[in-house]
């Protein structure tokens, strides 16, 4: 199961990122999310790879543009899509990884309090 992270105000960063893309780019990223939902933890490189700690990335591109969706497994056998970005450099910026880690922790806390 794949879930979208929602903040306390009901914002959904990955969904908002997707909505800002044009149709062909959105279709590429959504196809990767569907593949994650279907294959789960067995989704191999180059579609998915380890970033840091519990954070993984879904990887796709459209022409020369690279897109990443940072996600993590959470208790309850689900994957939570935490953050999405267009990428130009080889490495994902540290601030993006830190943001995903903070959202992961918050999501686990939200689950524990419900």
Residue 74: enclosing H or E segment and its boundaries? strand 65-74
Distance CA 111, CA 114 (A): 5
The 3-state DSSP class for residue 33 equals: helix
pLDDT in tens, 33-74: 999 999 987 899 999 999 999 999 999 999 999 999 999 998
pLDDT of residue 95: 95
Q: Which domain holds residue 36?
A: 2-112
Residue 50, beta-bridge partner list: 56
pLDDT reading at 114 higher than 70:
no
Residue 4: enclosing H or E segment and its boundaries? strand 2-4
Domain total for the chain?
1
């Amino acid at each position: 199961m794949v879930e979208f992270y929602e903040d306390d105000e009901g914002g959904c960063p990955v969904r908002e990122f997707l909505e800002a893309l044009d149709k062909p780019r959105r279709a590429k990223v959504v196809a990767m999310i569907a593949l994650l939902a279907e294959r789960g933890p067995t989704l191999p490189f180059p579609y998915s790879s380890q970033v840091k700690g519990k954070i993984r990335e879904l990887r796709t591109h459209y022409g020369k543009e690279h897109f990443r969706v940072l996600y993590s497994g959470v208790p309850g056998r689900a994957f939570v899509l935490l953050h999405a970005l267009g990428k130009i450099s080889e490495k994902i910026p540290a601030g993006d990884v830190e943001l995903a880690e903070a959202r992961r922790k918050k999501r686990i806390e939200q689950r524990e309090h419900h």
